[in-house]
């Protein structure tokens, strides 16, 4: 079955901006399934626009700021 954007429901989403990127914590439910936590990174390009990037590793500063958002997200699961 192919992915259908209309079946993907966002239950929570909040972002934190850093110097050259932003990290978003969200809770999504696809086709009314069990809600799942998603963490994603976007890096800024030269023109100020954001482009999706692999989250990979986080710095201590990033982790400290993401943890409270994860706690908020858990309440929506």
Residues in Cβ contact with 40 at an 8 Å cutoff, skipping those fewer than 6 apart: 23, 24, 26, 52, 55
* Residue 1 in this model has a pLDDT that exceeds 80: no
pTM comes to 0.89
Closest to 28 in 3D by CA, of 59, 67, 73: 73
The mean pLDDT of 14-21, rounded to a whole number, is 94
**How many domains does the chain fold into?**
1
Confidence of residue 18 (pLDDT cuts 50, 70, 90): very high
Whether 26 and 20 have beta carbons less than 8 Å apart is answered as: no
Helices (H) and strands (E) in the chain, counts: 1, 4
Residues in Cβ contact with 68 at an 8 Å cutoff, skipping those fewer than 6 apart: none
Range of the domain at 50: 5-74
Q: What is the pLDDT of residues 48-76, one digit of tens each?
A: 899 999 999 999 999 999 999 999 999 99
Q: What is the pLDDT of residues 29-39, one digit of tens each?
A: 999 999 999 99
């Amino acid at each position: 079955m192919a992915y259908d954007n209309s079946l993907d429901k966002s239950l929570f989403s909040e972002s934190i901006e850093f110097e050259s990127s932003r990290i978003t914590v969200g809770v999504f439910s696809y086709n009314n399934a069990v809600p799942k936590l998603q963490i994603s990174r976007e890096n800024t390009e030269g023109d100020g626009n954001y482009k999706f990037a692999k989250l990979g590793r986080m710095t201590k500063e990033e982790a400290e700021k993401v943890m409270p958002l994860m706690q908020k997200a858990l309440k929506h699961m």
